[in-house]
Amino acid sequence: MKIQKKCVLPLDKRDLKVYICGALKNEIMKKKLVVLSGAGVSAESGISTFRDSDGLWENYDVMEVASIEGWYQNPELVIEFYNQRRTQLANVVPNEAHKIIAELENYYDVTVVTQNVDDLHERAGSTQIIHLHGELTKVCSDDRKKHVSDIGYSTFKFGDLAPDGHLLRPFIVWFGEDVPLINKAAEIVSQADIILIIGTSLNVYPAAGLLYSAKNDAQIYVIDPKEVQPIARRVVFIKEKATSGMKKLFRMIASKDFVIK
């Protein structure tokens, strides 16, 4: 009934009506797919992961640059760390995996829940993205993260102030801080028909626990070249890098013969 109401058109537009009704129906009928992505999805774009042998936490002390205590101890170091990440981000581009995830919107109602602070999912064309750990291209006030603003790929320095007079800081969720979007993400995961976990070692909570909000019959896929933390659910594991793994998964779930059980 809802579909018919939305499609009240003059008679001479009957063909258009059929077309619009079909399109609306397709949108309404699309199954829900949630992508839980981590640093590995951006690795082939040239952004280091955190916990691999060449990862960022090999060269930096995570508590010095990515914790709230680190911010209070040495804010200059923290700002410099994120300035470098932001400058690097300006010089990389989305890879095939990001693009295929965006392409999946033609087949599914896709939400990307990412732990990544880069903007490569956006630049690849994904339209529904939750950044659990914040966004590199934004800064905020040191006072409860009020006054969030976009600075793109530019840098800022210690002492720069937000409109409320408090220090500007990176708009990042650090260790020791709460994750404001976790409940929204859990709600979205709980409605998913398909869940894709890609490029995350599942070491960091609460993000790693999101999977357990999934319905019992949700189909779960994991793409990662290495073993990830054990998952107490039946999953299809595609042990490949993000780009080749996504090509394989796309052939599987975007085929007309694919049925969600």
Active site residues: 133
Checking DSSP bridges between strand 32-37 and strand 194-198, what pairing results, if any?
Answer: parallel
Shortest Å, Cβ 191 to ligand OAD: 23
Kindly tell me the sign of the dihedral angle through the C-alpha atoms of 174, 180, 183, 185. negative
Pick between residue 97 and residue 168 the one whose CB is nearest to ligand OAD.
97
CB of 230 to ligand OAD, least distance (A): 13
| Closest distance of CB 11 from ligand OAD, Å | 54
Which is nearer to ligand OAD, 50 or 171 (by Cβ)?
50
75 vs 225, which CB is nearer to ligand OAD?
225
Distance CA(123)–CA(26), nearest Å, equals: 25
Which residue's Cβ has the minimum distance to ligand OAD?
40
Strand ranges, E, within 8-79: 32-37
Q: Shortest distance, CB of residue 236 to ligand OAD, whole angstroms?
A: 15
For 80, the 3-state DSSP assignment is: helix
Cβ proximity to ligand OAD, 19 vs 175, nearer residue:
175
**Residue 241 CB, nearest approach to ligand OAD (Å):** 4
Nearest to 176 by CA among 209, 208, 205: 205
CB-side neighbour CA atoms (13 Å) of 193: 14
Between 115 and 126, whose beta carbon lies closer to ligand OAD?
A: 115
| Beta-carbon contacts of residue 131 (< 8 Å; ≥ 6 apart) | 114, 116, 117, 181
- Contacts with ligand OAD by CB under 6 A lie at 38-40, 43-44, 49-52, 55, 62, 66, 115, 133, 173-175, 199-201, 203-204, 224-226, 228, 241-242
Distance set, CA 176 to CA 63, 69, 143, 168, 256 (Å): 10, 8, 15, 18, 46
**What's the rounded Cα separation, in Å, for the pair 82 and 68?**
14
Residue 164 CB, nearest approach to ligand OAD (Å): 24
Is 245 exposed, middle or buried, given 0-12, 13-18 or 19+ CB atoms closer than 10 A?
A: buried
The answer to whether 110 and 101 have CB atoms below 8 angstroms apart is: yes
How far CA 112 is from CA of 147, 213, 220, 253, in Å, comes to: 25, 15, 14, 16
Comparing CB distances to ligand OAD, the nearer of 128 and 244 is: 244
